[in-house]
Amino acid sequence: MSRSPGRKQENHKISRELFVLTYGALVAQLCKDYEKDEDVNACLDRMGYSIGIRLIDDFLARSAVKRCRSYSETADVIAQVAFKMYLGVTPSVSCSSATGNEFSLILDKNPLVDFVEELPAERASLCYCNLLCGVIRGALDMVHLEAEVTFLQDRLKGDAVTEIGITFLRKPEDRKHRRN
């Protein structure tokens, strides 16, 4: 029995669509369970963090990336390798601070909102994709990079783009390097 050459790509697309639909159902259920958007946002962040601390092992094994030497290199790997690998998109990266520890990932297309038209008016402060912030933060924590990750702009809220802000909380020279 032979396989068609496009089969793997087709399975990947089906898996992503299933994930997006399942994610939408998860957010809808959390909105039913919690009255406040802040509680839903916090729950999504915690879930994402748990995913991130487990996903980093898979990412490091499958991507074969080398150790990043700077925060800008880390932001580039997140955008160009991790997002492409897991979500099939490549956000652009911009540094937004003179100190070089604040970056923005700008997504022209966010696959998590493929089946979402708009947020209900009563859910104006809901950060629908907050899971992504938790995933990034959890993965970075596992490689000893403490960061604050937040949504700065969101197309679901009428912004022109979706923008995720990453602020590394320690200066590069604050990290201790061990050599054996």
Quick count: other Cβ atoms within 10 Å of Cβ 121?
A: 6
With respect to residue 113, please indicate whether it lies within any of the assigned structural domains.
yes
Is 3 part of any domain?
A: no
Domain count for the chain, please give it: 1
Answer whether residue 11 is part of any domain.
Answer: no
* 6-51 pLDDT tens trace: 555 555 555 778 888 899 999 999 999 999 999 999 999 999 999 9
As a whole number of angstroms, the distance between CA 35 and CA 63 comes to: 40
Does residue 152 sit within a domain? yes
Q: Residue 7 domain-assigned?
A: no
pTM score: 0.86
pLDDT at 36: 96
pLDDT value at position 180? Answer: 44
Residue 159 lies in a domain: yes
- Who contacts 49 (Cβ-Cβ below 8 Å, separation ≥6)? 134, 135, 137, 138, 141
In a domain, 21, yes or no: yes
